Amino acid sequence: MITSLETARHPETLKRVCIEPLTRVEGHGKVTLLLDEDNHIRQARLHVVEFRGFEKFIQGRPYWELPVLVQRLCGICPVSHHLAAAKACDQLIGVDQLTPTAEKVRRLMHLGQTLQSHALHFFHLASPDLLFGFDDPVAHRNIVGVIQDHPQIATQGVLLRKFGQEVIRITAGKRVHGTGALPGGVNKHVSLAERDELQKDIDQVVDWAEGAVQLIKRIFLANSDFHYRFGAVDANTLGLIAPDGSHELYHGGLRVRGPDGKTLLDHQDYQDYERVIHEEIKDWSYMKFPFLTQLGPELGWYRVGPLARVNNCDSFHTPLAEQERQDFAAAGEGRPLQAALATHWARLIELLHCAEAIRELLLDSDLQGTELRLKGEMREKGIGVIEAPRGTLFHHYEINGDGLVTRANLIVSTTNNNQAMNTAIRQVAGEFLDGRELTEPLLNQIEVAIRAYDPCLSCATHAMGRMPLDLELCDAEGKRIDRLCRHPDGTVERPSATTAD
């Protein structure tokens, strides 16, 4: 049923429902549903409708600009792109191991980024659905309603995000689009005064983060039958792990597990990612569809992000998060949790881990070191991989003898989750919407499934090769007077009639 909902037969005979724009997500997207006369769902698709082309217009730029340039992909997760690009540029200048100070400053920056992003998503974007219910009036089901009805929760969310942004400011120079990471290292250390500034609040931050985990556990388990089913799809999982198999966000090997939890790949060097992952293009989205090469496009799609990482890892090195991981694993009764809404639970375990890890790292005197950068022999190719808040992020660059970019390939977290998100909305549509008269609360359930993945749709609009394009010419009243379509194979046609999405 889920698989069959990707493409309907005879779409021209079906009625179309469009959810546009998707709300409480970053970037622009829409969902289209095709229904028959009895309101049975025949097709459901998540579309990314903007195209930006970063992979193309950074070609010809000098490599040292990349850590600053590519973070303009996003205002929500710029640090993730900043660090992934910096790691790729480390490879370009022949640096395989940073100085202790440089690595730990970058790790601190990344922990701050993950903390603030997880806080933003849960408290501002996801909590209205979870606190009030999916069918709460739309005028109340928003952050303003949370502030009015749960002021303490809303305040803690704001302050958690603010603390994460302060960590970013201190390590990267400013809260958004900083310049802290450079090829081969960083441009500053963390002074004792800056360390003390963060230490004075960190115990409170850990307490708030622990409280947030207890909140989502109560919400999830209070209606467990529904939450275990909602948006639940059996997926492969992919993410970085540390050498000992523990949870890792900054650097490690790739681990892939199947839907049953069995390990398919372990400690895979991400420099070989092109052998592990291939990318498919479909003519109805600007977002690519990656899949595991060994399984093929039909069976090889996978999930990344908090749910994948917590399912994949063997442990957390911070004690509070590790206890919560054990409770999370116990809820799966021997199998990975596959429910979309379990992602929020996993996300807040990671938020707690970040708070604990920041507290530990602030005690490390290497943060005050003065050896900040290294340089080796130039190379033609550099690949940087990091666990962004939303999932595994790949940056791949190639340069010529003048240091100018000749090729760039980005596989961002949301792109890695593309098929998982599409499959989740089809599960929700098939189980909870099929055959019913569609109302705003019911359609919101589709958005709830998407929000669980915290997609960054702006980041995900970067495709290689021949992209499908749909060009419309409209008159002053918005009436379409002409249309041209280019297909993935490069052919161009002028449709005589409207083609359903």
Give, for all 501 residues of the chain, the pLDDT tens digit. Answer: 566 899 999 999 999 999 999 999 988 889 999 999 999 999 999 988 776 678 888 999 999 999 999 998 877 789 999 999 999 999 999 999 999 999 999 999 999 999 999 999 999 999 999 999 999 999 999 999 999 999 999 999 999 999 999 999 999 999 888 999 999 999 999 999 999 999 999 999 999 999 999 999 999 999 999 999 999 999 999 999 999 999 999 999 999 999 999 999 999 999 999 999 999 988 788 788 999 999 999 999 999 999 999 999 999 999 999 999 999 999 998 899 999 999 999 999 999 999 999 999 999 999 999 999 999 999 999 999 999 999 999 999 999 999 999 999 999 999 999 999 999 999 999 999 999 999 999 999 999 999 999 998 777 665 444 556 677 888 888 888 888 877 766 678 888 644 444
Say how far residue 213 (Cα) sits from the centre of its chain.
20
Query: Phi and psi dihedrals of 117, rounded to 5?
Result: -70, -45
Assigned fold of 54-421: Cytochrome-c3 Hydrogenase; chain B (1.10.645)
Residue carrying the six token digits 């290292």: 185
What pLDDT was estimated at residue 496?
Answer: 64
Amino acid letter for position 54: F
CA distance 380 to 403: 8
Question: Tell me, what's the pLDDT at 77?
Answer: 83
Torsion on CA atoms 235, 23, 444, 39, rounded to nearest 10: -90
Structure tokens at 389: 């808040």
- CB-count burial class (<10 Å; 0-12, 13-18, 19+) for 473: exposed
**Pure H helices in 133-172:** 143-149, 151-172
Structure tokens at 462: 């970067």
- Look up residue 373 and give its DSSP letter: B
Separation between Cα atoms, residue 372 and residue 191, nearest integer Å: 13
pTM here is 0.93
- pLDDT reported for residue 499: 46
Question: In the prediction, which pLDDT does 334 show?
Answer: 87
Q: CA–CA separation, 407 vs 61, rounded Å?
A: 10
Alpha carbon distance 113, 235 (integer Å): 27
Determine the length of the chain.
501
Interatomic CA distance for residues 418 and 450, integer angstroms: 10
Q: Where are the domains of the chain?
A: 3-50+422-452, 54-421, 467-501
Cα–Cα distances (Å) from 421 to 26, 43, 87, 196, 309, in that order, read 15, 14, 28, 42, 16
What is the structure's pLDDT at 464?
A: 45
Alpha-carbon span 109 to 80, nearest angstrom: 9
